[in-house]
Amino acid sequence: MASKKQAPFDAVSVLNEIESKFEVVQVLDLDGNVVNDAYMPDLTDEQLVELMERMVWTRVLDQRSISLNRQGRLGFYAPTAGQEASQLASQYALEKEDWILPGYRDVPQLIWHGLPLTKAFLWSRGHFTGSQFPEGMNALAPQIIIGAQYVQTAGVALGLKKKGKQNVAITYTGDGGSSQGDFYEGINFASAFKAPAIFVIQNNNYAISTPREKQTAAKTLAQKAVAAGIPGTVVDGMDALAVYFVTKQARERAIAGDGPSLIETMTYRYGPHTMAGDDPTRYRTSDEDSEWVKKDPLVRFRKFLENKGLWTEEKENEVMERAKEEIKTALKEADGTPKQTVSQLAEIMYSGDMPQNLKEQYEIYKEKESK
């Protein structure tokens, strides 16, 4: 009896099947209506209001920081408007003892994790005290090297596991960061050792000016988790409730010993990549900007809260005024901080003996600064 001939393996069909599994998790539509109860997080009215307050406060901080940068009163700054839900709702799902390993756009998460705003301003100015975090604040300074925080997160998470801690390490990068080698090494290492890590890709569609479709042929960035053997989720990054839900789920999975997760938040930055000369009008159209403005995370969440009778224009104005006052106070404190000296730069760069040529320069500057 002749055996039945097996159909040839079709790799393309397998790929298409995998990609079809990655649907976008969403809770709210653009009018703030709940469209999927299955993903509705268990948050009290007070927590919902607190999350909205943080988002409004951070939008004010972004607007003020852009102005301060243009005035020459801040140094490096990467705008955050449009990414508040992605950043703050994910941080809101953490516990105080969890670790954050941020990219350079992720200062808001650090602030709400315990970083004084004055420190954030000093970090932007390149002052070494801006990276000296308060005792008990579990975080690293924002990483400038694209994707490097992914490898560091794998290590921190493994350390938490070895110490028996019921905590996680979360990290963030952009869609451009997912094209870096450190990205793959980090998620693979964490997966192999079942380290309690949460890897977030904030897909704002552009790596500076390079569109996402020119970085990878993959339909989603979340599907890159498959190669590492970990769950990957695509979430509406302009929907605070959806972001909170998937992050909380990833955290629960991690502390249960089931290993890391990869989350792709579909979001958008309304401003330039950084304030260091980037002009988004050269690579983004006004029509594209307009479409994403309709998805503004603050507008959507505001409508949701207003429908529940939890938010008013008066309440929002109060938060905005409080933010302005706190920013003013923090800026004054930063301005009053003694300027960093050349000798201090040398001292904090070397824990032991300096090279002879630098030691000679150090002595010269030390003498000048003492006069």
Q: What is the pLDDT of residue 6?
A: 72
pLDDT tens profile 230-248: 999 999 999 999 999 999 9
Half-sphere exposure in the Cβ direction for 197 (13 Å, CA): 31
| Tokens read off for 25 | 């998790």
Beta strands in the chain (DSSP E): 24-25, 99-101, 169-174, 197-203, 206-207, 210-211, 232-236, 261-266
- With a cut of 70, say whether residue 4 has pLDDT above it: no
pLDDT digits (tens, 9 = 90+) for 108-119: 999 999 999 999
Q: Does residue 347 have a pLDDT over 70?
A: yes
- Residue 1 pLDDT greater than 80, yes or no: no
Q: Rounded to whole angstroms, how far apart are CA atoms 266 and 205?
A: 8
**In which region does residue 72 sit, left (phi positive, over 0), alpha (psi from -120 to 50) or beta (all else)?**
left
- The pLDDT score that the predictor gives to residue 237 is 98
The one-letter code for the residue type at 173 is T
Work out the pLDDT band at 2, boundaries 50, 70, 90: low
Instruction: Name, in order, each residue with C-beta under 8 angstroms of 296's C-beta and a sequence gap of 6 or more.
Output: 82, 238
**Domains of the chain by residue range:** 18-338, 341-371
pLDDT of 206 reads: 96
Burial class (CB in 10 A: 0-12, 13-18, 19+), 303: middle
* Contacts of 55 by beta carbon, 8 Å cutoff, 6+ apart: 84, 85, 88, 240, 297, 298, 301
| Segment 28-44 mean pLDDT | 97
Three-class SS of residue 120?
A: helix
Cα 295 from Cα 266, distance rounded (Å): 11
Please, what is the average pLDDT of the chain? 95
Question: How far apart (Å, rounded) are the C-alpha atoms in residues 87 and 201?
Answer: 11
Q: What is the pLDDT of residue 291?
A: 96
Average confidence (pLDDT) over 249-277: 97
pLDDT in tens, 300-329: 999 999 999 999 999 999 999 999 999 999
| CATH fold for domain 18-338 | Rossmann fold (3.40.50)
Give the amino acid at 316: E
- The answer on pLDDT for 171 being more than 80 is yes
CA distance 37 to 47: 18
**Centroid of chain to Cα 333:** 26
Give me the mean pLDDT over the 77-91 stretch.
Answer: 98
- Looking only at the bridges linking them, the beta strands covering 206-207 and 210-211 are antiparallel
Catalytic residue status for 362: no
Task: Examine the residue annotation and report whether 77 is marked as an active-site residue of this protein.
Answer: no
Q: Return the closest-CA partner of residue 80 out of 92, 72, 88.
A: 88
> C-alpha distances in angstroms, 284 versus 20, 276, 318?
28, 17, 34
State the Cα–Cα distance between residues 28 and 30, nearest whole angstrom: 7
Taking each helix axis as running N to C, give the angle between helix 240-253 and helix 45-70, from 0 to 180 degrees, rounded to the nearest 10: 110
113 flagged as catalytic = no
> Of 1-10, 288-297, 339-348, which has the strongest mean pLDDT?
288-297
Q: Rounded to whole angstroms, how far apart are CA atoms 103 and 144?
A: 7
* Catalytic option among 269, 284, 300, 302: 269
Average pLDDT of the segment spanning 53-80: 97
> What SS3 state is found at 371?
coil
Alpha carbons 86 and 236: distance in angstroms, whole number: 8
Q: What is the pLDDT of residues 184-210, one digit of tens each?
A: 999 999 999 999 999 999 999 999 999
List beta partners, residue 202. 174, 265
Q: Is the pLDDT of residue 52 over 70?
A: yes
Q: Report the C-alpha gap between 115 and 18 in whole angstroms.
A: 40
Which position among 184, 270, 283, 365 bears the catalytic label? 283
Measured CA to CA, the distance from residue 7 to residue 308 in angstroms comes to: 56
What would the mean pLDDT of 129-153 be, rounded to a whole number?
97
Confidence of residue 345 (pLDDT cuts 50, 70, 90): confident
Question: Which residue from 219, 165, 224 is spatially nearest to 191, judged by alpha carbons?
Answer: 224
DSSP state of 359: H
- Measured distance CA(356)–CA(172) in Å, rounded: 39
List 273, 284, 300, 302, catalytic entry: 273
DSSP 278-346: --GGGTS-HHHHHHHHTT-HHHHHHHHHHHTT---HHHHHHHHHHHHHHHHHHHHHHHTSPPPPHHHHH
Tokens read off for 320: 């905005």
